[in-house]
Structure 1
Amino acid sequence: MAIPATMKAIVVEEFGKPMVLKNVPVPSPGYGQVLVKVITSGVCHTDLHVRDGDWHVKPTLPIIPGHEGAGVVVKLGEGVTTLKIGDRVGHAWLHDSCGGCDYCLSGWETVCGDQHQTGFAANGCFAEYTVAEANYVGRIPDNVSFAQASPLLCAGVTTYKALKETEAKAGQWVAILGACGGLGHVGCQYAQVMGLKVCAIDFGEDKRCYALDGLKCDAYVDVKGKSSQEVVEAVKAACDGVGPHGSIILAPKPEAFRQGLDMLRPMGFAVGVSLPPGEFPVDIFTLILQRKTLRGSIVGTRKDLNESLILAAGGKITCTVEERKMEDINQIFDDMVHGKIKGRCVLRIAPDP
């Protein structure tokens, strides 16, 4: 496959300003790396934070965002023996880690203190080509399309891992706060594949049919017009009258964290995923006396990533995808800010090979 000297890429040149679509040099893979021709790339809310630079840590500009790049390997760097030209791979959030600390050695590279992130600390996938570490890519099964694979590289593995972190078992209840969004709609499906009963929580009665009929959830709670206490009571009523065994907090609001903890039955696990600014109060008495657990979950390990892709190959995970062009990126972000996106926007960067 002929590799050009330059490529189209979406670049953040200044925080808070529109991103620029421009021609830049095609990168070359170094030792242990591969060059991937990007076919599709999902657009995540994290990419919006990269553009705005509104986290306490900021990327070094200029940067190419994107961490849901699905494509094919077109060039091998020196020392790569685990991949070959033509392999279907996904370039996800975890770009690399140190590989030698206690966390990496025990399969928890996602909390390594010396890791790098795709599209944040290293150039990402909003481009025609991207460089990935060979040991950190996901393997996309042949029967999963690139457009469907892209959201799984972040939204999929993140919710799959969070479900595992609830420690809920088949037949038990999980509540998903933000169930109809880009992450939530995939999480609802993974939960069902895992044999869990799902209480979907979102904003607006217009999402009830999507949650119950489209996503096949077992219950739906509309938070619109309800106080936090009313949301908690409604979820408890839907989940055997005592609450879910686990909750996943995807809604980017501090009050959702308190709700996710309060709605649990005794010995339940609340798993935080979203990253809103601020704090929230914890009812210490209930936390202790009912032996509840609150924990965070960040994306997933390489093993989680490949497990989530393999599960999708079974045909039971379908992402709600809207394909858009690279030229649309600034409009996509505007739609994202105003809550106009259903499911996941995916940039179509090249035709399927």
Structure 2
Amino acid sequence: MLGRPGTALTTLFSNSIPKVQKAAVIAKTGEKVQIKDDHPVKQPDQLKPGECLVRLHCTGVCHTDLHASLGDWPIPPSVPLVGGHEGVGEVVAIGKNTMGSPVKVGDRVGIKWVAYSCLNCEQCRKGLEQNCADVKLSGYTTDGTFQQYVQSWVNIVTPIPEGISSEAAASVLCAGVTVYRALKQAGTVPNDWVALPGAGGGLGHLAVQYAKVMGLRVIAIDGGEEKRRLCMDMLGADAWIDFTETKDIVSEVKRITGGRGANAAVVTAASSGGYTQAVDYLREGGTLMAVGLPAKAQLNASIFFTVFKNICIRGSYVGNRQDAIEAVNIAASGRVKVHYTSKPLKELERVYEDLGKGKIAGRVVLTM
């Protein structure tokens, strides 16, 4: 029976939902991903009130997924584990006795990094759902989107509007949301300069576009001709710096900005160098938004000049439910385009290899 919003009638297709599925499983961190055909599917009658089952169309691949596979972050993942946290699919079942669900069976929805938060604690009420004490993280502390069916929660999934493909929406749900929130918090105004180390990557190429939507002037920093073409010719960055060829990035940023320096930097690169340089090339009153998460690097900044220049250093960790809705809606309007390559799930290990070598321009989306 098909459920309607605000009712508890929430199960459909129960006879067509398989018992097992294809999934990419991390048995132990540091080992290769195993593609299994017999991973169990949670059945509709096993769903608790507030839970839903989503049949995935596709899922993005994020550098975070590689860290989960390697287990090289200070907070280890829960293994064995199905990775992934950028899934888009269709709600096929909702737990019985779920009242007031904002989504219904048949809706297209997205699965994000924040798989669950209580929505009632102090952090959740302040819009820091990602810092909820009871948070569950897709593909890190709970099974994620590298599978055909995933269990989620009706109040956490993101409705996907018309006007955007499932493949594009998948990448926006993490990469897009993350940079969009960081740019919102950077304290900039239209016509300000923002430097984007890692601009040609999965997060960075979306940051270029969201920054342009906000009326900012963009300095794209990355390496290689492919990424230069992406940032400058396709995305409309105002200036380009190739870190493989430029000996003094700080001086080059200052030259581009008339000697003043950038108003803000959103560092999506997973290296410590991007952070250290940003503190030096920011102008007085500038803001460094720390987004990329190197496994073991430290942030080294001159305390004297950080204070003397009134530099603000702020961490920005993904985004909340409202950030996700805004980021997806902007992309659905056509103002932000995800540049991605589609690959089958079985190629995940090779994608990880390319991610580790920094060879991927844009994003990779896996078809299910």
- Shorter-chain TM-score tier: over 0.9
Deviations 1:282-325 (A, max 9, x none): 11121112111001000001100000011111101111110000
TM-score, structure 2 as length reference: 0.91
Displacement of 1:241 in angstroms is 2.3
Question: What's the TM-score once normalised by structure 1's chain length?
Answer: 0.95
Shift of the alpha carbon at 1:271? 0.3
User: What amino acid does structure 1 have at the position aligned with 2:30?
Assistant: G
Residue 27 of structure 1, aligned match among 20, 42, 49: 42
Question: In structure 2, which of residues 336, 348, 353 is the aligned counterpart of residue 329 of structure 1?
Answer: 348
Match of 1:246 in 2: 264
The answer for the alignment partner of 2:17 in structure 1 is 3
Per-residue deviation, 1:340: 2.3
Distance 1:103 1:263 in 2: 33
CA distance in 1, matches of 2:191, 2:217: 6
SS of the residue aligned with 2:207?
helix
Residue 70 in structure 1 maps to residue 88 in structure 2: yes
**Structure 1 residue corresponding to 2:311, chosen from 272, 292, 296:** 292
3-state secondary structure, aligned to 1:268: strand
Residues 1:85 and 2:88 are matched in the alignment: no
Residue of structure 2 equivalent to 1:215: 235
* Deviation of 1:225 (Å): 4.2
Q: 1:138-177, aligned counterparts within 5 Å?
A: 138-177=158-197
- The alignment status of 1:17 with 2:9, answered yes or no, reads no
Secondary structure, counterpart of 1:247 in structure 2: strand
Match of 1:252, SS state, is: coil
Instruction: Name which of 238, 255, 275 aligns with 2:273.
Output: 255
2:194–2:263: 8 Å Cα contact kept in structure 1?
A: yes
Cα deviations by residue, 1:222-276 (Å, 9 ceiling, x for unpaired): 111444xx11110111123211111001111112111112111111110001111
Q: Does 2:64 correspond to 1:46? A: yes
- Structure 1 residues 99-108 or 212-221, which shifts more? 99-108
Alignment partners' CA distance in 2, 1:226 and 1:113: 43
One-letter code aligned to 1:10? A
Matches within 5 A, 1:257-296: 257-276=275-294, 277-296=296-315
Cα distance in 2, alignment partners of residues 120 and 153 from structure 1 = 16
Q: Report if the CA contact (8 A) 1:37-1:72 is conserved.
A: yes
Distance 1:245 1:82 in 2: 39
Q: Secondary structure at the match of 1:245?
A: strand
Distance change in 2, residues 1:40/1:154 (3 Å): same
The CA distance in 2 between the partners of 1:207 and 1:8, in whole Å, is: 33
Q: Distance in 1 between matches of 2:358 and 2:128?
A: 33
Q: Spell out structure 1 runs of 4+ moving beyond 6 A.
A: none
**Residue-by-residue CA offset, 1:61-94 (whole Å, 9 max, x unaligned):** 1110000001110101131522111111000000
Q: Which runs of 5+ in 1 are unaligned?
A: none
- Whole-angstrom CA distance in 1 between matches of 2:278 and 2:356: 24
3-state secondary structure, aligned to 1:152: helix
Distance of 1:337 and 1:68 partners within structure 2: 19
Residue number in structure 2 paired with 1:124 = 144
Please tell me whether the aligned partners of residues 227 and 361 of structure 2 are also in contact (alpha carbons under 8 angstroms): no
Please say if residues 103 and 159 of structure 2, whose CA atoms lie closer than 8 Å, have aligned partners that are also in contact: no
Q: CA deviation at 1:99?
A: 2.4
CA contact (8 A) 2:226 2:361 kept: no
User: How much has 1:206 moved relative to structure 2?
Assistant: 4.8
Q: Is the 8 A contact 1:173 1:196 kept in 2?
A: yes
Contact 1:199-1:239 within 8 A present in 2 as well: no
Paired AA for residue 17 in structure 1: E
Q: How much has 1:196 moved relative to structure 2?
A: 1.1
Q: Which amino acid aligns with 2:197?
A: L
The C-alpha deviation readout for 1:123-180, integer Å capped at 9, x for no partner, is 1000000011111111111111001111001000001011112111112111101000
SS of 2:278's equivalent? helix
Give the SS at the match of 1:89: strand
Cα gap change, 1:217 to 1:123, in 2 (>3 Å):
same
For 1:310, give the aligned amino acid.
N
Contact kept, 8 Å, 1:59 with 1:120, in 2: the verdict is yes
- For 2:129 and 2:28, locate their aligned partners in 1 and report how far apart those are by CA, in whole Å: 31
Q: Match of 1:136, SS?
A: coil
> How far off is 1:205 after superposition?
4.7
CA RMSD in angstroms, aligned pairs only: 1.3
- Structure 1: how far apart are the matches of 2:190 and 2:51? 39
Distance 2:67 2:142 in 1: 15
| One-letter amino acid matched to 2:33 | M
Match of 1:112 in 2: 132
For 2:191 and 2:333, how far apart are their aligned partners in 1?
Answer: 20
Question: Which residue does the alignment assign to 1:193?
Answer: 213
- Asked whether the 8 Å contact 1:232–1:259 carries over to 2, the reply is yes
